[in-house]
Amino acid sequence: MGPPGAGKGTQAVALSEHIGGAHISTGDIFRANVANETELGKTAKKYMDAGQYVPDEVTNAMVRDRLAEPDAAAFVLDGYPRTAEQVTVLDDILAGLGASLDVVLELVVADREELIQRMLKRAETSGRADDTEDVIRHRQDVYASETAVLLPIYRERGLLVEVDGVGTIDEVQGRIFAALDAAVPQA
């Protein structure tokens, strides 16, 4: 977990390789559907372009299907859950699979302007319709109001590990692997 621009996508790819699990990014799955012009993509695009969350029932159904696939025996969820409803549904999905979360990693980047500058830099090459400055700012607000409030839930469950997200990609990756190895010794 962590705000837009914290580096979740980059780090989640490396982490999934580290643990030998599937990288499941709801944003990536939505973007693939937009590119392929599927019905799901058409629904999601309206929300994504505005920097809003895709409705929970759409997102949850997609994650439920993805986690049921055979390669998801071990997984890194990237960008999910993002709402209180998604936390509840994820609990239900995992219970149905006899699975559970080992750890919830939060990439901490407290400086909102640093995040916005990182995203504006990414925007130069990303080609993403939601990487305009207005939408970038709005996505920070949505994270603060909808998603940051979920962190205490996982903290109370003893699953939350905060990792400093300021530094080079390699530095942050090293912190994540160290934090993971301490929290989940068998990983």
Q: What is the CB neighbour count within 10 angstroms for residue 78?
A: 21
Please pick, from the candidates 45, 66, 82, 175, the single residue that binds ligand AMP as defined by CB under 6 A.
82
One character per residue 102-141, x = contact with ligand AMP (rule: CB under 6 A)? ----------------------------x--------x--
Distance CA 39, CA 184 (A): 39
Question: Contacts for 85-94 with beta carbons within 8 Å, 24 or more apart?
Answer: 85/56, 85/60, 86/56, 86/59, 86/60, 87/150, 87/153, 89/56, 89/60, 89/63, 89/64, 90/63, 93/60, 93/63, 93/64, 93/67, 94/67
Residue 79 touching ligand AMP (CB under 6 A): yes
Binding residues for ligand AMP restricted to 14-33, rule: CB under 6 A: 26-27, 30
Q: Which of 1, 2, 3, 4 binds ligand AMP (CB under 6 A)?
A: 4
Residues 153 to 182 in contact with ligand AMP, rule: CB under 6 A: none
Q: Which is nearer to ligand AMP, 43 or 187 (CB)?
A: 43
For 42, how many CA atoms within 13 A lie in the half-sphere containing its CB? 3
Interacting residue ranges for ligand AMP, rule: CB under 6 A: 4, 26-27, 30, 47-48, 51-54, 59, 79-80, 82, 86, 130, 139
Return the active site residues: 8, 82, 122, 128, 139
